[in-house]
Structures are given as C-alpha cells and as structure tokens.
Structure 1
Amino acid sequence: MNEIVRDHPHTGYRLAEQKAARYLASLQGQMESRAYVAALTADIHEWKKTHLPPFSGLSLQSLWKKKPDTKDYYRYIRWLNYTGKLDNYLDRSVSYIYMRDLGKALDSLDTQERIKRAVADLNRYLLKSARSGEGEEPDFMNLAGVYRWAQKEGIEAAVIWVFAKLRSVAAHIPEGMNAEHAQRKLIKIIVGVILHVIEELDGNVAPAERSRRLDEAVRLGYSYGLTYPFVDDLLDSQILTAQEKVQYSELIRSALLTGAVPELGGWTGENMELIAYIHSELSEAFTYIKQQQRPENQQLFFEQSLVFFEAQDIDRVKVLTRTDYTNEELYIPVILKSSSSRLIARSVTSAPEDEGFEERTFFFGLYNQLADDFADMTQDMMDGAVTPYTYYLKYHKQRPDLMNPFELYWAVISHLLHHVYHSGAKAREVILDRAINGLRRYKERVGADKYKETMGIFAAGNPEFNRLIQTMVRKAEEVDFFDKLLRDQMIEHLKKDAGEQQEFFDTFTNVRKLINSELPFTKPQGLPAMKEQLMEAANYSLEGDGKRVRPILTWVMGVKEYGLAAEAIVPLLRSLEYMHTASLIFDDLPSQDNASTRRGRVTLHQLHNSAVAELTGLYLIQRAIGEQASLDRFRAETVLALIRYSARKAEEMCMGQAMDLDAKGKILTLEQLNAVCFYKTGVAFEACLVMPAMLAEVSETEINVLKRIAYHMGIAFQIKDDLLDVEGDTSILGKPVGNDAVNNNSNFVSILGQEGASKEMWEHYCKAAEALREIPRNITFLKHLMNYVVNRER
C-alpha cells in the first residue's frame, strides 16, 4: 500500500501507520457505499429538533437578532445569561473539551458529574467577571489575573517561571513566523496539560499534593508546548535553509530514538544564534519531561512523540506541484499526527488511561484535524501547503481517484457517533454543534459567495445531504463554543498587546530623546570658572545612559492622558530628572553606597571627588526647584501647590535614604523594608503620576488611586532592582552586581530569598494592576510600564 510502512525503521511508527491505514480503508468503504449518509441524515434530523427556532417564535428570533458581536466578550457573556443560553453554551463547550482534550466518553456518569461541576464553576466565574470587568481583558489573559490564580493554587513559583519563559520565547520568534499564532498554541498546550492534571485530581487530594501536581503541570505543559513554535512552526516556515532543516530534523529524531539530546556540535548555517537558543531551551524541556516520566511510561512517550514528529516531517516535505500523491500518502500522516498530539499531552503527565481512552483519542483526532484544515484552507492554498483540502481543490478534476476530504469529514463524524460513542445523544449533540459551527465560522470569514463556491466543489456529490447541512448552517441556533470565543479573544488580545507594546516602546524611545535633548545645561559666555565646573559635572551625570522612566511617565500622563500641552510641561520633566539624578549622585557617595559606576560610566565622585559630587547634587536640586517655578502656563495656585508637594516628596526621599543607611548591617522586617523602599523609590513614582494630575486639576479620588499605583509599582521596581543585583548582568545593568551584599545592605532578596522576593514583587504588581482598573480610562502605557518594571533586565 505505501512505501513508508515497509521502509520506516522504527517498529512503533510502522504499527501506528498500519493502524491508520486500516482506519482509512474503513472510512473509504463507508464513503464508497454512502452508508454514512442515511445514518447521519437521521442524526441531523434528530439533532435539529433542539436547534431550529419555532416557526412562529418571534421572541426568540428577535433576541437572536440582538445578539452582540462575540468580540465584545463581557457583553456577549451577559447576553447569553440574559437569554438563558449560558448553561447550554458552557455545557457543550466543556463537554467538547472533555472529548477532545481528555479523551472522555460522555456517557460515563462520573464524566457527566465532572462536566456539571466544571460548568457551574465556570458559570459563576464568568458572571462575576462580566459584572466587574467591562472594558478590560479577561483575568486569564492578563498577568495579574493568572498570578492571582497561581496564588490560590499555591504555584506562584511555577507561574513566575513560565512568565519569564513565555517572554523569552516571544522575544526569539523570528521575523517570518506568526508570533501570535505561535504564542497562542504554546499557551493552549500549557492549559491542556493543566486540564489533564486537574481532571486526575479529586477532592481528597491534599492541598500540598495538588500544588505539587499543578506546578509540575505548568512546567510540563511549557516543555511539551515549546515544540510547536520551535519544531513544527519553525520547520514549516522559510526561516531555516533546506540544509538547516535536514540538520535540525536529524537532531530531533536522534533525541526521540535515543532518549538523549545530541550536542549541537558542528552545526553550520546562518541561523546559528537562533538554533543555539532553541537547542538550549528544547534540551532543558526534554530533560525535564524525561525526569518527570515514570520509567514504565518513558518508552510510550518517546514512541508517541516519534510518531507525531515523523508524521509531521512526512507531511512537511510535500509540495502542491506534485500530482501523484496517493490517498494513503495524503491522509495517513494526518491521522497519525492528529491522534498522537493528544496522546502525547496525556503521556507527558504519566496519567493513567481510562478504558477506551487511546481508541477514542485515535479516532477523534482526524475529525478535529479535518475541521482545522477546512478552516485554514484559504491560507494554506495561498501558502502552497499540502493538506487534503488544498490538494483536492487543485487536482480533483484530473484525479477522480482522490478522496473528497469534506465527504470524509462527515464519514468520520458518522463513525465517531455510531462506533466510538455508541450513538450517545450527548456525543451527537456536541459533535454536530461543532461541525455546523465550523462551517458557519468559515462562511462568515470568507463571505457567502466564496463559501458557495467552496461547497460547490466539496459537496456536489451529495446534493440532498448538502441541502440539509446548509439549512442547518443558515438556521441552527446555539452551536457556538466557549473555546472558540477564547481563541478569538486570545488572538485579538495578543495582536492588541503586541501593538500596544510596540507603541509603548516607540513612545518610550521618542520621549526619551526629547527629554535627553532638554536636560543639558548650556554655558553662557563669561561664566565663572567654578559655576562652569558645576555645570560640566551636572551634564556629565545627566549624559549617562539613564532610562528616564520618571519624566517619560510624567510626559505620557500629562500629554496623552490629561491633554496638557507638551511644551508647557517641559520644565516639570527637567525638574524630575534633575531631582532623580541628584539623588543618584548622593546615593553613590563613599559615605553612602560607595558605587564605582552608574549608568554605564564612572560615578561622579570617582571622576572628581566627593565635594564636587555633593555640590553638583545640590546644584541640580536648586535647578529643579527653579524649573518648577517656571511652569507659567498654569494657574499660580496650582503651581504653588505642586512646589509644596514636590518639597514634601524630596523630604520623604531623604528620609528613605537615611532609613536605608541606618539599616546597614541590620535585619529588617518586611514592613520596615517596604517603608524604606517606598520612600526611596515609590515616592518618585508617585510624584511622576501625581504632579501632572495636579496640573490637570483632576479629582482627589483619582489622585489617591494614582498614589496607590505608585506605592505598589515603586516597591515592585525596587524589588526588581534587588533581584537584578543578584541575577543581573553588569554589561546590561551599567553598574556592578552584588553591591548590596558587599555593603551589607538588607534588601528583599536577603530577607525573603530570590523566590520569596519574586513572589513579593508580583504581589505588588498585582495590587498596582488592580488599582489601575479603578481609573476611569484605559491607560495602556501604565499597564505596559508595569510589565516593563517587573520584566526589565536593567
């Protein structure tokens, strides 16, 4: 039948391929006899009784017409609840996940009870979030929401770890690959593995064991999911050369056959840096999965992974210009990769299998893959990718022997309903809901004309059956699914987030350039020598590679959020950076932290002496006060109030530094440390938020919220500094690491340890993010600044 079966050296793959060939032959027989059509027609007539609106039912039809766009996530959830559709919507959605991801039989009483509990929990969560989250992305799509879940489950360390890993992966996805698609699939796999583990846990599991298992699930999910962007997507892309693809495939194949990752060794090619990163990450992931596997499960994991990889590899090298692929060559790899991907997710967790799990998963995979390939058909055709659909589209007229993948899809559905799920009513409900929803989504995406043209090609052989299907596509109600809503939301969120992030960095870069151009002091003719020396020393300190976070934040809040004229607040920007630079000069002195470098340069007291440094700091403070006094486009009372506020904040910063110096050699409590670092760092953040708000004369309520944001963001910033002092890279930081330990400084790491300090940082991040939601406008810059604060490398 096919050469691959005879020639492939691995027994496990040969056996899997033979099983797939038998399945395909069975389906082909059903298609040729049309036996599935009558059975499926009867199924659809039974199914439609609960899905077509009553002939005279104007009330339901009018409600349907008012259905909000699913892009309006919260409004859509509320609409489902208002119309009484939410429970059924969640029930079919959760049931589908239990079938697809967990391989469950829906006629099991235990499964039905689990689905019922999951629906009730999800219902409560969605309604609570829909009431409180208008205008916000769902909690599970933002860092604070996910971290709060991690705290509840006691797995903060794993989630902090995976945050960093996902950020690293996103930074290394090369141009030419779909970043949002890659990230979505990786996150989906992580969630899938977590679901497998949660399904195995019950109420009798001790909290500590539950936390351990979920911690492991997060890490296993990432480790397995990493193969999607950095194996499948990378090899499918045009990033690697043909020779590099061969080298890379051999590395992966060797790892799966031997159970050990080969060294990169003599890799050659222009993508060496990318491959070195991927090799390091995949090696770590491979080792972690292997360590977590029970010895008796390791062989199964490697065999399933090899089947998946080989099927993908065989499919990958197909070209749409070749005219002689057989049905076996087109479909067997699809059957193998679609079933083995789910089997791997199960074996990764070493979970015990339910009776019939492997068979259900094997047969279900093709149904899912054919649905996905149909949805992606237009893009696949543009890309020249070979799938059963694209190949049939191109060659069906000259190759009458080709199996029609659309007809095969319905034959698979019939096989699932009657031979796998034993004509169960719930399975019929869920599978047909999904099939009709898939066609409807495709029609909405490509338009009615293109859809009609497509159906004319794929459904011409069964006109009567097709008329029934198309009636259902036009008229059937309640066939949409929560996971599709989440998929659309996640893609939209990732695209939006990427755009906002780019805008954040563009704003940061552009405003930083503006501020840098405004900071230096110009020396007029005839300047006294000593004043000239102070100006030169001040300019030296200002010219360092400072981040300018504080004045940038003030510019964004003042200009973008409050509508102040950009040129009117330039004096305020100067004053903030002058005050901040002065504080750094004092902080670096031998009598204080005794730092040798700052902002990538020798500190001022090292370049000159302590006296010059002290006088320069005082000079900058006085110039800062003068700049504030020159804010002449605002009411005098407002400017006077701002100067008084600024003076108080300067006093508090001095107190914070004094508290820090007094703490040397002492072990502080967490409360004391929070106070020290707020007065040292948080006060400056507060000023950057509050001072433009004062100029804009916003309400006291909003100012109080800004103060809370600043408090938590300032402490998070300081904790990150403490972590970087232990973990950072001197060449990136621009200052030595380990200073706090040398100076015997008490900090978050010394008190809480690195893991404890990381948890404390994310706690303050969450509190800042939660406070931000209280402000009656969407300040995306602040959201991304908070992300920058906890994720920065300097």
Structure 2
Amino acid sequence: MNEELLRNANTSYRLAEQRATDYFRLLNVEVRQKNFVSTLTKDIQVWKHNHIHHRSVFSLFTRGKEKSNSKGYYSYIQWLKYTGKLDNYLDRSISYIFLRDLGKKLNAPDTQKKIKSVVESLKDHLNHSDATEQGFNMAGLYRMAQKERVESAVIWVSEKLKIVSSSIPEEMDAEQAQRKLIKIIVGVLMHVVEEMDEDVSPEERRQKLDEAIRLGYSYGLTYPFIDDLLDSTVLSREEKKQYSDLIRSTLITKSVPPIGKWEGKNIDLIEYIHAELQEAFEYIKSHQKAETSKSFFEESYVFFHSQEVDRVKDLSNSTYSNEEIYVPIILKSSSSRLIARSVLSVSENESFDNRTFLYGIYNQLADDFADMFDDMNVGAVTPYTYYMKYHDKRSDLINPFELYWAVIANLIHNVYQSDEKTCEVILDRAINGLKRSKERLGTKKYKEVMALFTSQMPEFNSLIQKMVQKADDVDFFDKLLRDHMISNLRKDRQEREDFSHTIKTVRSELNNVLMIQIKDPDPLLKSVVNEAANLSLKGDAKRLRPVVAWAMGVNAYELNQSAIMPLLKSLEYMHTASLIFDDLPSQDNASIRRGCPTLHQVYNIATAELTGLFLTQKAIEEQASLDQFDAKTVLKLIQYSAQKTEEMCNGQAMDLNSKGKPLTIEQLNLMCFYKTGIGFEASLVMPAILAKAEEFEIDALKKFAYHAGIAFQIKDDLLDVEGNKELLGKSVGKDAENNNSTFVSILGQESSRKEMWEHYCNAIETLQKVPRNTVFLKHLMNYIVNRDY
C-alpha cells in the first residue's frame, strides 16, 4: 500500500480522534460535577405538565383497555386517530427525524414549515382508506414509486434486498440486516428531498430520487456485509484479518483490490460479498463530486477504523481507560450519520457537521443501553457492559447512564440553545426508551439495572422513574415502524417457508399418483402413448397449477384433500398436454422441456400429438370421477373446464398467427391471458366451483388469475432473454428464434419489468376482495415475479 496514502488516512483519523477526545473531556467534567442533574430536573419539571394527566377512575380504565388492545401497527394508528393524539404523535416523530437524521434546528422557521408539510402528508396517507391495507408491502411501495416515476430503482433495490436476505449466513440476523438497509435507504432519500429546491423539475426530481435509492442501498450494504459480518462468528479470526485489510485498503487507495488468495472456508460468501461491495463502491465513487470526495473518504475511513478499534476490545481486559472506551464510540456514531449525507456529495455545512458530531453519541448510548444484555452475552465491550463488569473494581470508570444524561443536557442547552421544542422531543425520546426497556426486561430486572446505574443520583432517578411510570404520549412513529417492519419481515419469512413447504409436499404427493397405469397387460394392446404420457409427466415439473388448486381447495375452502385429488391430477394432465402441443415443430419447435428432450424428439410427431390428446381425455376422466361432490356441481366444473380448454386453444392459435407481426400491449395481454392466465384461473376457480363459492368471489379470483397469468408470462419472456438454461430446463432465446411477439420484443426489458410489476400490484390488490385465506396466493405472486425458472 502507498505509504503516503496511509499516512494521510492516519492523520485524518488522529484529527477526528482529537476532536472526539475534546468532546469526551467536556462531557467527563459534566458527569464528575453532576451539573446535568439540576439542569434536567428543572427541564423535566416543566416537561411533565404535558405528559402526566390526571383522569377519573373511569377514564383511566377505559383508556387503558383501549390502548392495551392497540399494540399492532394498524390498530395503534386507529387508536391514535380515535383519541385525537395522531397530530401530536406525528409532529414529535417527524421533528425527531429532522433533528436526528437531517441535523436540523427545530426552531428554524424553514424547518418548522417542512415538518408541518411532512406531518400533513403522512397523516393524509394514514387516513386514506386503503393505507392500512397496503401498508409497506411491495405493492404499496411500488404504487408510491409510480407516483415519483422511480419504479426501475424500486424494482432494482427490491431484487437486491431479496438476494442479500437469502445470502445472509444463518449466524446473522437476516431481518435486522434488511431493516438496517431499508433504514439507510430511507435516510438517504430524506437527505435528498431535504436538499431539493421547490422549483426542481419533475425529471430532475425523478433522477435525484432514483440515484438516492441506489446510493442508499450501496452505502447501507456496508452494515450487513462489513459491520455485522465482522461482529459475527461467521468468519474465522484469520478471515476477519484478511477481510478488514481488504476494506482498509479500499478506503485508503479509493480502489477495490482483488480478493487474492483466501485462507478460510468462507471463500464463496466472500466472493459474493466482494462483488456486491465492489459494485456498490464504484457506484458511490462515480457519483462523488470532486469537492466532496475527499471528505467522503475521510469520514468513511474514520468510521471504519473507529469500529475496528472498538471491535478488537476484549471484555476480559480490565485496564481500558475511559477515553479508550468512549472516544471510538463518539467517532463511529457521528461518522455513520455524516457519511449518509456525504455519500450524496452534498456541499459541506459546518453547522450541520458540528451538530451531527455532538449528537451521535446520544443515539449510540441509547442503543447500547437497550442491547446491553445481548452484548454481555457475546462478550462485546460497550460502555454499559464494561461498567457492569468492572464498576465495583474501578472507581475511576465513568457511569455510561450518567454520561447519557449529560449528553442530553449538553444537546438541549449548549447545542440547541435551550430550544423548547428540542427539549420536548429529546426528553420524549429518552423516557420512551426507558419505557421500552422496562417492558422488554420486565420490572424486576429493570429495577436491578436502574439500581446499578443510578446509585449516585437517587433523587434524579426517582424523578425519572416517576416519568417512566406515569408520563404518557412519548412514543414515536419510527419505533412503531421498526417493530412493525421486523414483525412483518419475520412473518414474511415464515410464510415463505410455509409456501415452499406446501409446494414441496403437495408436489411430492402428486408425483406419487400422476403416473398412468396400463390397465391391460396384453402386449398387443400396450400402447406407446401410455409410455409417452408417463415420460412427459416424469419431467422436473413445478406442478404449480395443481398445487395452487390444492392450496385453494384445502386451505381456503376446507375441502377434503383426497376428495379433490382427481381435480389436481386433471389440471396437471391438461397442462402437460398443452406443453406437448406447444413444443411441436409446427408450433414452437422446442427441443427441451422440463430438463428432458421433448416428446416429439424422443418418439415422433404423431406420437406426441396422440399423447397430448390422450392426456386431455384423461383429465376429463379424472374430473368425472369426483364422486364426493354432487353431480350438478361436477357437471358445472366439467363444462367450465371444457370452455377453458377452448379458450387456451384460441390463445395458442393467436400466438401462432402473430409470429412476425407487431402486436399492441392490449393484444399481447389478451393472448397471454388465454395462453397462461386461464391455467391459473382454472386452478383457482375449479376448487371454488366445488365449494359452491359466491359469484362475486369467483369473479375476484378470475381477475387475480388474469393479472397473475400475464405477470407469469412476462417473467417467462424475460427469462427467455436473461435466464439460465440449466435452471430453466429448456433452451433460452427461443422467442427471438421463432420470431415470436413477446413483451420483451415489444417493450424492451426495463419496460417489461414495469409491466410485470403493474400486474403484480393489480393481482395483490384484487386479493383484498377475496374473503378467504389468501396468504398462499400472495406468495405465489412473489414467486412468479422473483423466480429464476
């Protein structure tokens, strides 16, 4: 490594370290003299008048009952509306974000105006009738992206997030990694919006937001793939050393070095992470302005090095000085927020930088307090874990809880000049943090913690605990969102696992019963058609249509599994027949299907045609054997099935006649629905017919199938261009070879993705009209748009 570059980096760190040391010494004096106690006691005495309300016994009883039932995101928002607390709740929440994330002074008129605007916009969203339904799912997010015309960026980042989530080792927390990434992206977006002029053109706004999403992801990726990875037990000590040296070299030389010879078992993981981080690094670097690039790399190096200094500390070492404990924390907590701004190449702002530098440790101490027992369990050195272990052996150690309140007093009165709104918001946050800790730890353990950390300020602690017990209206929207997001991510992961398990289980059961038995052993009557049918059924098929029918029949309509087995078999027979016809030389002339040679290649065209016809009749035979349902219902189902077969034939004819002809999107949608959507429709509607569902419900299922089928076909078109032959089990590029009109040939890849996501959103929104358990269908849509084959 270039020695001069290394010296420059170390000089930048020493300067930042000296600044942090000066700040720590100032705080140290405050703690030693306990000046913050009298100052904050006065503040809290004023503050409590807005947060402790005397009520009648009846009102306390009813209010408590209402709130205890309102811990979920949706119900809590409704409770806030009902009690008239929503405006104040949003105001303090948005004010806190402007203070913490954007480094703003709350008493500035321009800031007050912007806070009011954001509050009104958010309140309008929360008051909207479908806000609680869409929430923060992909459909709701995509709809918001459409309004800002940043769909491509949202599609890109959603695909990236899914890959990252699936690549996180089991020893790490995938949900927390996703949450952190999303939080960073949102934080960068907020900075962009804040810096944007009101008269910016729509196109410039779109471009800035698009870049912010990609920059936010690129910067946010460092949290799971650098910070969390190095904190985890995934890498060996030698691998951590190699990896840290690689990151350090990147920040000093401003160029990502190759991995080189990797000494360790995690080479596959490191190769993936290296590729992702290199792409992210190059994107950030390409968007840096010359005048801000130097500060960006300096802040990044300070952030990384301070983390490294902190990371190598050993809890068994009893000799760390107070400065060794706190200075790296001041550096990393302030640098992380300064980078979020510098990554955008925003012009330097000394006032912002100073406030952000002084503010960082406040949040870090609050986070470390919340995580102290988890940190203790893994032997991590934080101000709280170190004090817990050595407070009775070393009288010189600073009490981190006292330092926390000293920081608060300094922020309120020295950094923000005793601004009333700032005092309100910061104290709201502090008391809320203690309330959450008490709830999480339980009263007994919480009291033990407080006894340890407040032994030298009993009167002040008594006041604080009174506020923790009695003060109200101190909760925050970002905390509600955090809990809601983690809950949703975990729920979503469990649902995905259930979805995959259902597909695997039902597919296995179907594979055991699909093979067609040859009834007559007479060799003269033994037909090659039977063998060909079984050969085509043996392929590596997804069995998606019968699996969907099973999920609807068993999970949604509670039909008996054995009773609907003939229906499931009929759907797979019919689908397999359609594939045999589709692969014929007179149609798509495919050579591979389901990872095997197509039927006309193995036998001949005539045998393939007869086998397709044979399977359609087997499908009807299976439907006619649904003997646990009344005859009228079965007849209705067979009639519906015949109509759908007609429509599928018409769709295929439209496809064949369109070769080489330009089609409109409307024509393409219609053709794709007849070719693909009808198969999904049958899988949904046929169980509904057997369950004698209402017509409005069947209509909603048909609409869902329409959009699901087209989305499926668009994904097929994209995979034909971008897919992997080994994963697909068939050749790629066949559409272009056959001169087929596809979404990709008409719209191009990017617009095709947007069209696919539009149908995805329409399908998801339609599910709200189906009064059944539709979780499987939600994840079916996620599978359709995210599949690799």
Q: The TM-score by the shorter chain falls in which range?
A: over 0.9
After superposition, the Cα gap between the structure-2 partners of 1:743 and 1:387, relative to the gap in structure 1 and judged at 3 Å, is: same
Partner of 2:440: 445
Q: Deviations 1:594-625 (Å, cap 9, x if unpaired)?
A: 00000000000011110010000000001000
Q: Deviations 1:133-176 (Å, cap 9, x if unpaired)?
A: 56x4x522x11011111110001111111111011101100110
> Aligned AA for 1:290?
K
TM-score w.r.t. the length of structure 2 is 0.98
Partner of 2:372: 377
Deviation at 1:99, TM superposition (A): 0.9
> Aligned AA for 1:519?
L
Partner of 1:139: 135
Partner of 1:49: 49
> Aligned AA for 1:113?
K
CA distance in structure 2 between the partners assigned to 1:341 and 1:778 by the alignment: 43
Partner of 1:682: 677
Q: Deviations 1:369-409 (Å, cap 9, x if unpaired)?
A: 00001011121111211110011111100011110000000
Q: Deviations 1:742-782 (Å, cap 9, x if unpaired)?
A: 01001000000000100000000000000011112341111
Task: Compare 771-780 and 287-296 and name the one that shifted more.
Answer: 771-780
> Aligned AA for 1:768?
A
Partner of 2:311: 316
Q: Write the mapping of 1:667-746 to structure 2, written as runs, cut at 5 A.
A: 667-746=662-741
CA distance in structure 2 between the partners assigned to 1:155 and 1:123 by the alignment: 23
Question: 2:89 is paired with a residue of what secondary structure?
Answer: helix
Partner of 1:418: 413
Partner of 2:92: 92
1:53–1:60 contact (8 Å) kept in structure 2: no
Are 2:259 and 1:261 equivalent residues in the alignment? no
Question: 1:308 is paired with a residue of what secondary structure?
Answer: helix
Partner of 2:18: 18
Partner of 1:215: 210
CA distance in structure 2 between the partners assigned to 1:113 and 1:133 by the alignment: 25
Question: 2:67 is paired with a residue of what secondary structure?
Answer: coil
Deviation at 1:39, TM superposition (A): 0.8
Aligned positions, number:
784
> Aligned AA for 2:83?
T
CA distance in structure 2 between the partners assigned to 1:400 and 1:62 by the alignment: 49
Deviation at 1:365, TM superposition (A): 0.4
Partner of 2:629: 634
Partner of 1:606: 601
CA distance in structure 2 between the partners assigned to 1:681 and 1:594 by the alignment: 18
1:68–1:76 contact (8 Å) kept in structure 2: no
> Aligned AA for 2:270?
I
Partner of 2:34: 34
Partner of 2:77: 77
CA distance in structure 1 between the partners assigned to 2:613 and 2:254 by the alignment: 65
> Aligned AA for 2:63?
L
CA distance in structure 2 between the partners assigned to 1:349 and 1:437 by the alignment: 32
Partner of 2:354: 359
CA distance in structure 2 between the partners assigned to 1:777 and 1:126 by the alignment: 25
Deviation at 1:49, TM superposition (A): 1.3
After superposition, the Cα gap between the structure-2 partners of 1:567 and 1:57, relative to the gap in structure 1 and judged at 3 Å, is: closer
After superposition, the Cα gap between the structure-2 partners of 1:7 and 1:202, relative to the gap in structure 1 and judged at 3 Å, is: closer
1:725–1:737 contact (8 Å) kept in structure 2: yes
Q: Deviations 1:166-200 (Å, cap 9, x if unpaired)?
A: 11101100110011111111111111111111112
CA distance in structure 2 between the partners assigned to 1:579 and 1:180 by the alignment: 41
Are 2:284 and 1:289 equivalent residues in the alignment? yes
CA RMSD of aligned residues (A): 1.4
Partner of 2:576: 581
Select which of 769, 778, 781 maps to 1:774. Answer: 769
Select which of 266, 270, 295 maps to 2:265. Answer: 270
> Aligned AA for 1:332?
V
Identical counterparts, % of pairs: 62
> Aligned AA for 2:105?
A
After superposition, the Cα gap between the structure-2 partners of 1:354 and 1:118, relative to the gap in structure 1 and judged at 3 Å, is: farther
CA distance in structure 1 between the partners assigned to 2:338 and 2:514 by the alignment: 61
Select which of 505, 528, 531 maps to 1:536. Answer: 531
Deviation at 1:201, TM superposition (A): 2.0
Question: 1:66 is paired with a residue of what secondary structure?
Answer: helix
Partner of 1:154: 149
Deviation at 1:684, TM superposition (A): 0.4
2:583–2:591 contact (8 Å) kept in structure 1: yes
> Aligned AA for 1:380?
D
2:292–2:346 contact (8 Å) kept in structure 1: no
1:77–1:127 contact (8 Å) kept in structure 2: no
> Aligned AA for 2:119?
V
> Aligned AA for 1:76?
Y
Question: 2:563 is paired with a residue of what secondary structure?
Answer: helix
What stretches of structure 1 of length at least 5 have no aligned partner? 1-5
1:8–1:14 contact (8 Å) kept in structure 2: no
1:724–1:737 contact (8 Å) kept in structure 2: yes
1:186–1:228 contact (8 Å) kept in structure 2: yes
Question: 1:10 is paired with a residue of what secondary structure?
Answer: helix
What stretches of structure 2 of length at least 5 have no aligned partner? 1-5
Select which of 166, 174, 188 maps to 1:171. Answer: 166
CA distance in structure 2 between the partners assigned to 1:125 and 1:472 by the alignment: 32
Deviation at 1:472, TM superposition (A): 0.4
CA distance in structure 2 between the partners assigned to 1:768 and 1:58 by the alignment: 47
Q: Write the mapping of 1:383-462 to structure 2, written as runs, cut at 5 A.
A: 383-462=378-457
CA distance in structure 2 between the partners assigned to 1:71 and 1:728 by the alignment: 44
Question: 1:356 is paired with a residue of what secondary structure?
Answer: helix
Partner of 2:113: 113
Deviation at 1:282, TM superposition (A): 0.2
CA distance in structure 2 between the partners assigned to 1:333 and 1:599 by the alignment: 57
Deviation at 1:67, TM superposition (A): 1.1
CA distance in structure 2 between the partners assigned to 1:363 and 1:265 by the alignment: 40
Question: 1:152 is paired with a residue of what secondary structure?
Answer: helix
Are 2:245 and 1:250 equivalent residues in the alignment? yes
CA distance in structure 1 between the partners assigned to 2:427 and 2:716 by the alignment: 55
> Aligned AA for 2:476?
F
Deviation at 1:528, TM superposition (A): 4.8
Deviation at 1:57, TM superposition (A): 8.3
Partner of 1:491: 486
